[in-house]
Amino acid sequence: MWQDIIAHFDTLEQRPLERMAYIVGGLLVFWIIEGAIPLIPMHYKKNKLKHAGINFTFTLIHLVIHTGFGVLIVLLSDWCSNHQFGIVHWAGITESTVAVILISALVLDLFGGWLSHMIEHKVALFWRMHIIHHSDNNVDVTSGLRHHPLESVWRGLFFLAGLALSGAPIYGVMIYQTVLTIFVGFTHANISLPPALDKIISWVLVSPNMHKVHHHWKQPYTDSNYGAVFSIYDRLFGTFMYLDPKEIKYGLDRYYPNEQDENLVALLRRPFEPLKD
């Protein structure tokens, strides 16, 4: 079984249409679910399709940029393998598929997920990029890849750093990225899970309610729950926060006008403008 999994994901980077199918399939599934069991009412400027169109524009740009990063990922992963560089090699676990997948995912999530995200909230230069993501007043499944192109590059660099440290083979990288794609849809989707189930999930993985706290319009809630797949880093570093979903309001209390959250040109221009309280 493991050999089949390795063979499938080891060459997934060479099959862009199949990778796209994972992204589109995940979006469609959670789009349907959030329509059936919504967490909170959405108040779109016009309608859900118009809102989705803005977010899909950012998504397409993000995918183009990360296609370029895909080449660097393959080259760096091969280099780590050839030079026995990274945790999976130093720890001598390359023969254990489960251990390689787990270590790869944990390190990649720490760098590409938690650390890069936390810095975006602490450093004004990067916060100007990340505002675009938080300016969405209606967080749904399409909000997950609403990132400014500059932020996509920034996160890509951190992902490469995590790859170098972990020494992850390509199959480990592709498995993590596939899981990440699913989680981006899952954690942003406007879905209502039983509170007990959501809480159980949040002890190890990022749950929908947990991530919605991060999208609450006011600090300090905005500056919490940075995790992408694993919640353990937020708990470990003291950045985990809870808020009753009924109290959540999306958007920003400063920095960007909430009425302009679907203005594509203004959003693309925002990182080049000074911050205004």
Please name the amino acid found at residue 76. Answer: L
Is the pLDDT confidence value at 169 over 70? Answer: yes
Tokens of 50: 């118009």
| CA dihedral (49, 55, 58, 64) positive or negative | negative
Q: Which DSSP category does 12 fall into?
A: G
Give the tens place of pLDDT for each residue, 91-143: 999 989 999 999 999 999 999 999 999 999 999 999 999 999 999 999 999 99
Residue 17's pLDDT is 79
| Residues ≥6 apart with Cβ < 8 Å to 147 | 58, 62, 129, 130, 132, 133, 155
What's the confidence (pLDDT) of residue 22?
A: 84
**How high is the pLDDT of residue 275?**
82
Which structure tokens are listed for 113?
A: 């997920």
Residue 277 has pLDDT above 70, yes or no: no
Helix or strand (DSSP H, E) at 90: helix 87-90
- Note the pLDDT of residue 272: 92
pLDDT score of 112: 95
How many CA atoms within 13 Å lie on the side-chain side of 33? 20
Q: What pLDDT does residue 70 have?
A: 87
What is the tens place of the pLDDT at every residue in 217-272? 998 899 999 999 999 999 999 999 999 988 999 999 988 999 999 999 999 999 99
Segment 180-206 mean pLDDT: 95
Residue 276 has pLDDT above 80, yes or no: no
Extract the tokens encoding 222.
């905005």
Distances, alpha carbon 66 to alpha carbons 13, 27, 63, 160, in Å: 11, 18, 5, 11
pLDDT of residue 211 exceeding 70: yes
pLDDT band of 145, cuts 50, 70, 90: confident
Tell me the backbone φ, ψ of residue 68, rounded to 5 degrees: -65, -40
Amino acid at 196: A
Share of the chain above pLDDT 90, in %: 78
Give mean pLDDT, residues 17-40. 89
Q: Which residues of 120-140 are buried (b: 16+ CB within 10 A; e: fewer)?
A: bbeeeebbbbbbbbbbbbbbb
Which secondary-structure segment (H or E) carries 122?
A: helix 116-122
Closest CA to 120 of 150, 83, 90: 150
Integer Cα distance of 126 and 143 in angstroms: 19
Please answer whether residues 127 and 273 qualify as being in contact, where contact means their C-beta atoms are separated by less than 8 angstroms.
no
Q: Using one digit for the tens of pLDDT, what is the confidence trace for 53-84? A: 999 999 889 888 888 898 999 999 999 999 99
Q: Please say if the pLDDT value at position 25 is more than 70.
A: yes
pTM for the complete prediction? 0.94
What pLDDT digit, counting tens, does each position of 173-190 carry?
999 999 999 999 999 999
pLDDT at residue 188, as a whole number? 96
Tell me phi and psi for residue 273, to 5 degrees. -110, 150
Which residue did the predictor score with more confidence, 166 or 19?
A: 166
Upper half-sphere CA count for residue 256 (Cβ side, 13 Å): 29
The average confidence (pLDDT) of the chain is 93
